Amino acid sequence: MRKLILDTETSGLDPENDRIIELACLELIDDLPTEKRFHKYYNPGDILISNEAEKIHGLNNNFLRKFPTFDESIDEFIEFLDDSKIIAHNAQFDISMINASFKRKGREKISDEKSICTLEMAKKKFPGSKNNLNALCRRFNISLVDREKHGALTDCYLLLRVYTELTGGKQGSLTLTERGAKKQVDFKLPKKIEPIFVEVSEEEEKSHNLMLKKITKSLWF
């Protein structure tokens, strides 16, 4: 299944009156990242980016005036999006900004079923805790050295690692994929498995338990 890690930067928080000024996507196939990505800057048109917003993402009208607007470039994004699911942190906001543009251009809106919100995932997993992107990166020991400002592409790479942790980390379910192919190979156990008993020495048991203690988030505990 194809999914896209997505993040936007905007001129403000109002989907009707503000505009997308940066958008980035990273492609996942069966939850594994590929080398394909989408990253564009956009002119907000007549919308003035406030000083407060510029402090967050570092983007201003003077820098963005050489780029087309998102509305003008919407077909390019739709082609990359295709029929993929979107993974975003606070997906409701990003989708509402995109859908506002789709509405202005007479395009079909992205449905809620097409989005996966990592913020909602984190709230369920860590209720009562801070679950913004910075907090989750610190929780999962993900470096924030490159995040001086909120940038859509940088945040996509951070969100990719956060999403991986939220869905089981590096010890996720065992699947094999053929390189360059979209086919996923599932290994299914037979319905009935006859038990096999193997005697182990006391020393072997101690070594095994010591190994398990060294594994972070071990599935055997």
Helix and strand counts by DSSP (H, E) for the chain: 8, 7
The rounded distance, in Å, linking the Cα atoms of 73 and 75 is 6
Give per-residue burial for 71-101: e unless 16+ CB within 10 Å, then b. Answer: bebbeebeebbeebbbbbbebebbbebbbbb
Residue 121, helix vs strand vs coil: helix
Residues 99 and 81: beta-carbon distance below 8 Å: no
Q: Which residues are catalytic?
A: 150
Residue 193, helix vs strand vs coil: coil
